[in-house]
Amino acid sequence: KLPLESIQVVLEELRKNGNLEWLDKNKTSFLIMWRRPEEWGKLIYQWVSKNGLTNSVFTLYELASGDDTEGEEFHGLDEAMLLRALQTLQQEHKAEIITLDDGRGVKFF
């Protein structure tokens, strides 16, 4: 049981490190992330590169739940966090998020 001031210090440190994101302006609701989106993106891209899958297209389902990613740290990753990770790769010009007939996907470069 920490005093409120101590809790705020801990939460602010997590935010500074990129492991916490406030979900509202009043700072009453937040998301704590085990890994930052950039870290997830790096892990995903390492897997893509290691398996020679650049210039390949995947659905988000295939990445998060497919047989090919079973055993990888990002297997089972929440779709919202997966999208954030892929957005970081898109900013680095390593991937492009695309809309498919049955949902979203990603092409890796």
**What's the predicted TM-score (pTM) here?**
0.85
26 and 65 share one domain: no
Token pair 């297209």 is at which residue? 57
63 and 20 share one domain: no
Q: Is the dihedral of CA 102, 66, 106, 81 positive or negative?
A: positive
Q: Which amino acid is at 49?
A: S
6 and 53 share one domain: no
Q: Which residues contact 80 (CB under 8 A, 6 or more apart)?
A: none
Model confidence pLDDT, tens digit, residues 51-100: 999 999 999 999 999 999 999 999 999 999 999 999 999 999 999 999 98
Model confidence pLDDT, tens digit, residues 44-55: 999 999 999 999
50 and 17 share one domain: no
23 and 43 share one domain: no
Query: Phi and psi dihedrals of 107, rounded to 5?
Result: -110, 130
The CATH number of the domain holding residue 44 is: 1.10.10.10
79 and 103 share one domain: yes
Whether the per-residue pLDDT at 102 is higher than 80: the answer is no
Q: Which of 64, 85, 86, 83 is nearest to 75 (CA)?
A: 64
Q: What is the pLDDT of residue 45?
A: 98
43 and 93 share one domain: yes
- Provide the number of structural domains found in the chain: 2
55 and 101 share one domain: yes
The domain in which residue 82 lies consists of 37-108
